[in-house]
Chain A
């Protein structure tokens, strides 16, 4: 439904609810909750007679359930997922019809979101906004508007929205209606909502490398994303997957995602014989909040030819790049792979990030890069020997194995 129409509908419904409340249940409220209102009257004096109060739409036949959800009950749940979280919220809503302590409840719920893995779920946030009592906290005049009517509650809602923002959850149009019904059109949470709705969709697609909203945590998939992202500097890149099972002598049985562009293959083929090329790593790249490890095949910097700048003003002998001799005085612009610190010849992610898998990578590359057989491959790695020593990564020092080197050099 169009959200404007929805608002109209809700506004009309509010009026109806007011009317119903005034007609049917004011007496009941008066009778059963006299105690509550007496207490409330001590702190905040009701400004209107009770018949215009807008919330209690449910007859209060049953005796109020005294078993409240305690604020830390979230922590005590064994099976933490979206269903149980929502169950908790609904439990509170059903049992606490009067919404006593809802601010504390919401804060507690917000705190426990990560544990349940629901911090990126819009539905959950909407369920929490639904906990706020409707109508009661709508300011009635400009002073209330400007002086933070119900400050604790408004601050709570703002914090809720803030948490959404931190987690990159964009509200939807229904949420506006929810917030308006609670805090009125001029309420501070609604204003924050409006700002969020202006900026967040704009920033949502700011990254040129988009990954799906529901990013899987499958390491292979993440590795593909990572290699695609790194190699997006060259549109001709070919990304291939190798299985180490197919390589003889491979100890590690895993996958390798390798990215190499035709330009890189050409650069590799042009390297002089016995040039050392280095397998370097481990480097890390973040895909959303996952860390992916990758390795680089690098050669040392090649000598750049010095260029003399052309005199663009002299048109007496213009060069035509069509059916004419290639110019000898032209220096070809270096490719994106020729960086200041060396030539990047390829990158890869492997399933285990182990040395053996990297050796398998080099062996797989040799199929398309026969030149690699004539080069000296040096492994200068901070990577662990095998996946079992992953924990030692942090403490391991950069070192070059002198004895291992012989075995790991391919020719």
Chain B
């Protein structure tokens, strides 16, 4: 019995390995998905296979199994060679020992100014954006190897965001004028969008860009907050709203490249305690003149530009956070190693073991997802905007969790090592990029919008049951299994994974299939108001983020196990543990989504929230107060 089971396992593993090898060496193995049929016409090794977006399709119950194959696009030896040939990182690291050594010992203490470090990195030819000579995965690995501290990473990411915006939306004039200098770091850039009154909502900006007919320039007037690198930037990308001009009836949001030398720009520091080095602050534009040709894209492209700051893959900051987590983890290990609690060594207490496992799992998830993302971008021609946003959400949350857990283990030592400040820095970096709530809403809303586009006909019929009784009855019959929480698992995800991950694959499949049902249900319930139901949107995004994390983790551990990499047993155990940890949460979230509406447990809570708002804060009487004397 045992022998036959073992044989089965071995056969499955071999089959899987064969499949992987086959896929790796033949590009004909995978066919393009029907959704986005935009395979490039030219042939050759550089051609990427077109794919329909992954997370968006997950909401429709479709799971492209190719995404369960962990990408193998980087040859580390080649990468090292590339780094030696192209980058002067080693050189700069020696020249400025602060980059590496300080990060090990006192990462929060900044002996050398951020600006100087950024300057040296520009000189060392670090790729700020996708370049010909190295692919995305390699770029990410380079970012990780640089081992940046957070302020530096933040500044570099801002630069790369501006480079991306100019190269994606700018016309020839803008590109020729700015792009080269931005890439080389000759011009330092900042991105100015958030305002105090509207937060990160670019559709209601108060900063005005009025067209001055006489001078032929726009005049930008307003104050921007949380502008990273606002102190030293030579160039600002400013998102502003232009009043109804040029014969337009409504305000339009537009974006400009503004030179600092244009005049009327003043800067005031914000956030003095953490991230002091990266010049975060308020930038005031006082009727700053901007020539018309400095507008990025067309007059109504501003929102697309603004959207870039969400979908932009912040490689520097994500890898910097990953490194910070790893370092904190190792420090925590140092404490665990030596300290004793009462008689028992701390290392033997269950709670500490559990905490260490959690931190380790967080790091594993983030690492897997980062390289999964970069690999997918390399392998396929696919829209990864949602994945990018979801990845950032994972990154920010797990970084804060992991560092907090580490600090708990470190105890008082976390203050000595400056780890408490690290937490502040991470929070500041998250704020300066985008808050996780915004990222989550973005992921869920766009996912649901995509799903709704495809399900529109069904939803219309389901919302009018008296007009379409046949359809509704049929749907009831069809969803019998779903209503019993036993969807038919026909995606066969286990085929792509090692058999020891069967149970986890099943959970992933179950989640995907239930998500489709949940999305159908909430679309039927709320109709076109669905994106406004933010509580449910956050739930959807939770599920999407979990699916992304599980996919990446399962793919990675399966690949490790099949190729027999060192510690692959632990990796599989970790993957199973990660999925199992998520299981109850996922099931509960889906259940909450399905029950919804009037019977949901949200309603009383939301009502109470409205009450707290209208009463002006905490209004409840003191427990010692007596109504009857």
Q: Would you call A314 and B204 a contact (CB within 8 A)?
A: no
- In Å, the complex CA distance between A285 and B300 comes to 51
Q: How many residues of B contact A (CB 8 A)?
A: 42
By beta carbon, the residue of chain A nearest B532 is A321
Contacting residues, chain A, for B628 (C-beta < 8 A) = 170, 172-173, 197, 201
Of residues 523 through 559 on chain B, the ones whose CB sits less than 8 Å from some CB of chain A are: 523, 526-532
User: Per-residue CB proximity of A295-328 to B under 8 Å, as 1/0?
Assistant: 0000000000000001111111111111111101
Q: Would you call B442 and A315 a contact (CB within 8 A)?
A: no
B203, B253, B448: residue with the most chain A Cβ atoms closer than 10 Å: B203
- Residue A205, interface by CB 8 Å: yes
Q: Would you call A325 and B629 a contact (CB within 8 A)?
A: no
Given contacts A235-B616, A311-B528, A314-B528, contact A322 B459 (CB under 8 A): no
- Residue A122, interface by CB 8 Å: yes
- Residue B460, interface by CB 8 Å: yes
- Residue B306, interface by CB 8 Å: yes
Q: Would you call A315 and B201 a contact (CB within 8 A)?
A: no
Q: Would you call A235 and B250 a contact (CB within 8 A)?
A: no
Contacting residues, chain B, for A323 (C-beta < 8 A) = 202-203, 303, 306-307, 310, 442
Given contacts A310-B528, A313-B463, contact A326 B251 (CB under 8 A): yes
Q: Would you call A315 and B455 a contact (CB within 8 A)?
A: yes
Given contacts A311-B528, A324-B203, A324-B303, contact A235 B613 (CB under 8 A): yes
Of residues 582 through 621 on chain B, the ones whose CB sits less than 8 Å from some CB of chain A are: 613-614, 616
Cβ contact of B203, chosen from A204, A315, A318, A325, cutoff 8 A: A325
By beta carbon, the residue of chain A nearest B438 is A322
Q: Would you call A204 and B528 a contact (CB within 8 A)?
A: no
Contacting residues, chain B, for A197 (C-beta < 8 A) = 628
Q: Would you call B614 and A325 a contact (CB within 8 A)?
A: no
- Residue B452, interface by CB 8 Å: yes
Contacting residues, chain A, for B529 (C-beta < 8 A) = 312
Contacting residues, chain B, for A322 (C-beta < 8 A) = 201, 438, 441-442, 445, 531
Given contacts A325-B303, A326-B203, A326-B251, contact A319 B629 (CB under 8 A): no
User: Per-residue CB proximity of B510-530 to A under 8 Å, as 1/0?
Assistant: 000000000000010011111
Q: Would you call B627 and A315 a contact (CB within 8 A)?
A: no
Q: Would you call A314 and B456 a contact (CB within 8 A)?
A: yes
Q: Would you call A201 and B442 a contact (CB within 8 A)?
A: no
Q: Would you call B303 and A315 a contact (CB within 8 A)?
A: no
- Residue B266, interface by CB 8 Å: no
Other than A318-B530, A319-B531, A322-B438, give 16 A-B pairs with Cβ distance below 8 A. A172-B628, A201-B627, A201-B628, A313-B459, A313-B460, A313-B464, A313-B528, A315-B460, A317-B453, A318-B448, A320-B446, A320-B531, A323-B310, A324-B203, A325-B253, A326-B204
A-B contact pairs, 26 of them (CB 8 A): A122-B629, A172-B628, A201-B627, A201-B628, A204-B627, A235-B613, A312-B527, A313-B464, A313-B528, A314-B456, A314-B527, A315-B453, A315-B527, A316-B453, A317-B453, A318-B449, A318-B528, A319-B528, A319-B531, A320-B445, A321-B532, A322-B201, A322-B531, A323-B203, A325-B253, A326-B251
| Nearest 5 CB-CB pairings of A with B | A316-B456, A312-B527, A315-B452, A323-B307, A320-B445
